[in-house]
Structure 1
Amino acid sequence: MMTGELRTEWLYDLSATLAPWHDIGDFGGGKRRIVPVTGGRVEGPHLSGDVLPFGADFFVERTDDVLVLDVRAIVRTGDGAEIYAFYPGLSHGQSLGPFGDLPEGERYFRTTPRFETGSEKYAWLNRILTVGVGWLEPPNSVRYKVYAVL
């Protein structure tokens, strides 16, 4: 029976290395920047593999200092399946309004990863929603903890 409570389960940890960003410029709605993903790793109980060097974050820095994330990546699992992942999200260092202020020096960095794959083994990824908590690791890495919404 549904209770209305949101349940999540840890799906995987992701670590990725990033190249320097490319600045497209201000298009009127913010500054478009592209940060190439040069590789990485996904590790979890149901999904593990390499992040291939084909992705990037096509983010927009809005005038209110909020980053609108648009990450796209390909994961190749140990058994050869390829999974396209796209991560829309937000990142900022501002107050969360009625939910309080962030600890000093911390950023709100949340994503809602979705997946596409033709692999029968991993087809369940095509049918789930996930949420991710991310953080930067200087000088050129990003990490995420991703949870399946059950």
Structure 2
Amino acid sequence: MSSESSGNMTPLAARPLFMMRLLVGPLQTIGGPAGAGRRVGGIPGGRFDGEKLRGVVLPGGADWQIERSDGAIELDARIVLQTDDDALIGMTYVGLRHGAPEVMARLGRGEAVAPSEYYFRIVARFSTSDPRYQWLNSIIAVGIGHRLPEGPVYLVHEIA
């Protein structure tokens, strides 16, 4: 691509934002018009820690999932972060987790699986009215996930 057609755009850069560990309750299959692949898991809590913000994930969030016919899992989650200095931040993210059928089966049984054996990525947005964290309203974040039996761990990065 020539510099003329790219308009000399700034290359993408990522800065670490935080690491987040979530607890996820048992998945409940709810089905739907597309088949039995729709399921939801409550998120009773968690923790996030980073250089610019840290705190807890409040109970009440949910992770809506679709298990596709190819074995991939599409994620659609909504949670509320409460910082250690008492700000409330809404976080929504969509994601995709997939791997070889035997790897996905092991994950489904709650077995330990190395993150290098499967693909697990999210795209996140934030919403807050707290003036200390309003900068979050104007960023896109991406994360790399690892699924543990009790819930996922994400390394979340701000895209600059």
Which TM class, normalised by the smaller chain length? 0.7 to 0.9
Task: Work out the CA distance in 1 between the residues paired with 2:94 and 2:116.
Answer: 23
| Pair 129,55 (structure 1): closer, same or farther in 2 beyond 3 Å | same
Give aligned pairs, total. Answer: 141
TM-score (norm 1): 0.87
Identity %, equivalent residues:
38
Structure 2 gap segments, 5+ residues each: 1-7, 101-113
Q: Give the match for residue 106 of structure 2.
A: none
| Pairwise CA distance, 1:27 | 2.6
Between structures 1 and 2, the one with greater helix share: 2
Matched, 1:19 2:21: no
TM-score (norm 2): 0.82
1:142 to 128, 135, 152: 152
| Pair 132,30 (structure 1): closer, same or farther in 2 beyond 3 Å | farther
Q: Give the match for residue 11 of structure 2.
A: 5
Q: CA RMSD in A?
A: 2.0
Q: Give the match for residue 40 of structure 2.
A: 34
| Pair 38,81 (structure 1): closer, same or farther in 2 beyond 3 Å | same
Runs of 4+ deviating beyond 6 Å: none
Matched, 1:43 2:43: no
| Pairwise CA distance, 1:29 | 5.8
Structure 1 gap segments, 5+ residues each: 95-102
